[in-house]
């Protein structure tokens, strides 16, 4: 990994790594936690129901559940009413390249990477803790998906750090979402200063400075409104209703499903 790119080889990925890959010609990235054995746990929208609008273009773009995997029969494991899914590395990448999200980067490096959603100043917890959180959430859910408040990057950041906003978030911890909001916001807030800037270069410098400052103060490693939340107590946190909480209201108790280990299909 370097200053310009976090791209890694598949052989370099280790259990507990926060990985991501670019979608739609680098328009956005999808994030997940590598848990070993060529498996990735990540967060997307819940399974579509019969009443859902299958023509919703936004839903189809965000959905990250493979229809059928030629390699792993259990690829795409996802409990009902949950957006957390287990897939193989191939289906997660979708022919894209793997990138490794960086933790504990210095402030200068963070600001040098103008694209959000690639690194954080926050430190990562040990790999075994990260994998435990991801597998626990696979069986219990992570609440409802929201592009700006609770997306795939928010999921991976929580698995890596255990940090969540103390109050129910208006904007989550995702650097990618902060960047999407930060560009137009920086342009708007910097408008008065542009009157003092000399020419297009000065105007661009002012806007870039406002954008970088906005990214920095919203990073999970800098924010003061976040705290460690144990994964087993996540259902008590504002905005997080796990699977058992949703089903216990109207449904009788059922025997919980168990996750079978992925087995590679035999080649004929």
User: Out of 18, 30, 88, 119, which one is annotated catalytic?
Assistant: 30
pLDDT of residue 31: 97
Is-catalytic flag, 212? no
pLDDT of residue 94: 93
Residue 150, Cβ neighbours under 10 Å: how many?
24
At 161 the three-state DSSP class reads helix
User: Out of 18, 31, 42, 159, which one is annotated catalytic?
Assistant: 42
Size of the chain in residues: 268
Say if 39 falls within a structural domain: yes
- Read off the CATH number of the domain in which 124 is found: 3.90.1720.10
Sheet of 84-88: strand order equals 84-88, 39-43, 28-36, 18-23, 99-100
Say if 204 falls within a structural domain: no
Say if 106 falls within a structural domain: yes
pLDDT of residue 61: 47
Q: Which two tokens stand for residue 225?
A: 């409104």
Q: How far apart are the first and last CA of the chain?
A: 38
Say if 124 falls within a structural domain: yes
User: Out of 75, 88, 100, 152, which one is annotated catalytic?
Assistant: 152
The C-alpha R_g of the chain, in whole angstroms, comes to: 20
Compute mean pLDDT per 10 residues along the chain, 268 residues long, and list them.
Answer: 81 98 92 97 78 44 70 91 95 96 95 87 98 97 89 96 80 60 44 51 62 83 93 85 59 54 55
Cβ neighbours for 62, distance < 8 A, ≥ 6 positions apart: 44, 45, 145, 147
Q: Which two tokens stand for residue 168?
A: 């129910």
Say if 239 falls within a structural domain: no
pLDDT of residue 53: 45
Say if 4 falls within a structural domain: no
Contact between 100 and 13 under an 8 Å Cβ cutoff? The reply is yes
At 87 the three-state DSSP class reads strand
Say if 142 falls within a structural domain: yes
- The pLDDT tens digits for 190-227 are 445 444 555 566 556 656 666 777 788 889 999 998 99
Question: Computed from CA positions of residues 156, 162, 166, 168, in that sequence, does the dihedral angle turn out positive or negative?
Answer: positive
Say if 118 falls within a structural domain: yes
User: What residue numbers bound the domain in which 133 lies?
Assistant: 17-45+69-165+228-234
Is-catalytic flag, 152? yes
Q: Which two tokens stand for residue 24?
A: 């739609």
* Residue among 166, 143, 174 nearest 224 (CA): 166
- Pairwise CA distance, residues 213 & 210, whole Å: 5
Is-catalytic flag, 69? no
* Residue among 154, 208, 201 nearest 177 (CA): 154
- Residues 168, 170, 175, CA angle at the centre, nearest 5°? 110
Domain count within the chain:
1
């Amino acid at each position: 990994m370097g200053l310009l790119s976090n791209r890694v080889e598949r052989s370099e990925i280790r259990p507990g790594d926060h990985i991501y890959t670019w979608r739609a010609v680098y328009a956005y990235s999808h994030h997940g936690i590598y848990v070993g054995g060529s498996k990735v746990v990540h967060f997307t929208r819940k399974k579509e129901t019969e009443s859902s609008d299958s023509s919703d273009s936004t839903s189809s773009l965000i959905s990250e559940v493979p229809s059928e995997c030629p390699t792993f029969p259990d690829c795409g494991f996802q409990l009902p009413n949950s957006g957390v899914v287990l897939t193989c590395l191939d289906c997660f990448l979708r022919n894209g390249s793997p990138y490794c999200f960086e933790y504990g980067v210095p402030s200068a490096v963070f600001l040098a990477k103008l694209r959000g959603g690639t690194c954080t100043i926050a430190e990562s917890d040990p790999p075994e803790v990260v994998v435990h959180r991801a597998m626990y959430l696979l069986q219990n859910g992570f609440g409802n998906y929201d592009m700006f408040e609770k997306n795939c990057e928010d999921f991976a950041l929580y698995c890596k750090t255990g940090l969540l906003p103390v109050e129910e978030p208006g904007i989550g911890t995702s650097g990618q979402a902060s960047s999407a909001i930060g560009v137009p916001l920086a342009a708007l807030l910097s408008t008065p200063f542009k009157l003092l800037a000399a020419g297009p270069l000065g105007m661009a410098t002012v806007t870039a400075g406002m954008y970088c400052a906005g990214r920095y103060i919203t990073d999970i490693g800098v924010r003061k409104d976040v705290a460690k939340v144990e994964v087993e107590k996540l259902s008590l946190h504002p905005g997080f209703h796990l699977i058992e909480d949703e089903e216990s209201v109207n449904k009788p108790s059922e025997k919980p499903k168990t996750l079978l280990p992925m087995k590679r299909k035999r080649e004929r």
